[in-house]
């Protein structure tokens, strides 16, 4: 009896071992390193010099613009994504004919198999001088500027992150018991109030999962704004690249990174709270 339990524990440890080792080496240790760096000082020739100071954190306002831009980009981008994704997910889960559903779902995911960088470059051409503006000029609309505008950035973000928003919403809508919609109609609710009172509320866990997922990724996003926005507006992502690779101020970069992680955690907890309260679900599934 005792032996078999020991064997079972050993097996559990063996199965969990690789994943644990992976997380320790590539997540926990780097995180500790960053945390240690963030209270250090920049060495004269760049990099890290041991110290214990909160000077780096005190210096955060120096990058306030980048923080501010990111804090606007992330929620606005996630919201734009949500507004586009919800109708798509709704159609896929509740309206699309059963036999087309898988194919349509695959069409949502397939673009993901190409690198985001590649797809963003493609958008540069589509929105650039020889793309849509050229077409518009052909039919008489001269001098339309699309590339290097906030609109182009938003478009790129929605395009790039759409599947991450669609899939969790699709899953929660797909799981929705259709008889609840009938029950709501039976009790006198118009289609609109059924949507607001039942469908939307019960799909909120999916919405919150998608929203927090996209928003957290957008907190570190800098590629799309650089390529489609002309690189005139700086984000935390740009700041991190700059601080770690160019000006080699690792401690300050680390302080920014730690702050970003804390913000992400706050976003996640808030999203979880909201969807738990409204939908009555006991947890949020992170996919």
Shortest reach from residue 113's CB to other proteins, in Å: 36
- Using rule CB under 8 A, residue 279 touches other proteins: yes
Q: Which is nearer to other proteins, 55 or 278 (CB)?
A: 278
- Asked if residue 139 binds other proteins (CB under 8 A), the reply is no
b/e per residue, 215-249, with b = 16+ CB within 10 A?
bbbbbbbbbbbbbbbeeebbbbbbbbebbbeeeeb
Tokens representing 50 are: 């041991």
Q: Is 184 in the site for other proteins (CB under 8 A)?
A: yes
Q: Could you write out the DSSP letters of every residue in 63-97? A: GHHHHHHHHHHHHHHHHHHHHHHHHHHHIIIIIS-
Rounded Cα–Cα distance for residues 98 and 179 (Å): 17
Torsion 67-73-74-76 (CA) sign: positive
Instruction: Give the number of residues in contact with other proteins, rule: CB under 8 A.
Output: 21
Query: What 3-state class would DSSP assign to 42?
Result: strand
Least distance in angstroms from the C-beta of 250 to other proteins: 48
Restricting to residues 198-217, name those near other proteins by CB under 8 A. 198, 201-202
Q: Which of 186, 232, 245, 283 binds other proteins (CB under 8 A)?
A: 186
Q: Pick the binder of other proteins from 25, 183, 196, 269 (CB under 8 A).
A: 183
x-or-dash pattern for other proteins, window 141-180, by CB under 8 A? ------------------------------------x-xx
By beta-carbon proximity to other proteins, the closer residue of 129 and 280 is: 280
Q: Which of 151, 196, 161 is nearest to 82 (CA)?
A: 161
Based on C-alpha coordinates, what's the Rg of the chain? 24
Min separation Cβ 86 and other proteins, Å:
18
CB of 94 to other proteins, least distance (A): 15
Residue whose tokens read 């493609």: 122
Tell me which residues touch other proteins (CB under 8 A).
Answer: 177, 179-180, 182-190, 193, 197-198, 201-202, 278-281
């Amino acid at each position: 009896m005792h032996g078999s339990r020991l064997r079972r524990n050993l097996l559990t440890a063996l199965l969990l071992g690789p994943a644990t080792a992976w997380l320790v080496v590539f997540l926990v240790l780097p995180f500790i390193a960053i945390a240690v760096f963030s209270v250090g000082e920049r060495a004269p020739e760049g990099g890290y010099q041991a110290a214990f100071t909160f000077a780096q954190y005190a210096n955060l306002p120096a990058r306030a613009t980048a923080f501010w831009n990111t804090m606007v980009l992330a929620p606005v981008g996630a919201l734009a994504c949500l507004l586009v994704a919800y109708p798509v997910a709704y159609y896929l889960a509740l309206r699309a004919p059963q036999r087309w559903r898988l194919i349509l779902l695959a069409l949502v995911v397939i673009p993901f198999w190409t690198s985001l960088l590649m797809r963003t470059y493609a958008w540069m051409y589509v929105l650039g001088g020889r793309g849509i503006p050229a077409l518009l000029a052909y039919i008489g609309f001269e001098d339309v500027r699309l590339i290097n505008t906030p609109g182009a950035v938003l478009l790129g973000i929605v395009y790039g992150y759409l599947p991450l928003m669609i899939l969790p919403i699709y899953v929660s809508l797909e799981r929705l018991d259709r008889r609840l919609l009938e029950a709501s109609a039976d009790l006198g609710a118009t289609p609109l109030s059924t949507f607001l009172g039942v469908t939307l509320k019960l799909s909120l866990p999916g919405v919150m999962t998608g929203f927090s997922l996209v928003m957290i990724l957008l907190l570190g996003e800098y590629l799309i704004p650089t390529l489609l926005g002309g690189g005139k507006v700086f984000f935390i992502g740009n700041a991190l690249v700059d601080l770690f690779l160019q000006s080699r101020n690792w401690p300050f970069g680390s302080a920014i990174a730690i702050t970003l992680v804390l913000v992400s955690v706050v976003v996640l907890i808030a999203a979880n709270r909201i969807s738990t309260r409204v939908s009555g679900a006991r947890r949020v599934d992170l996919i």
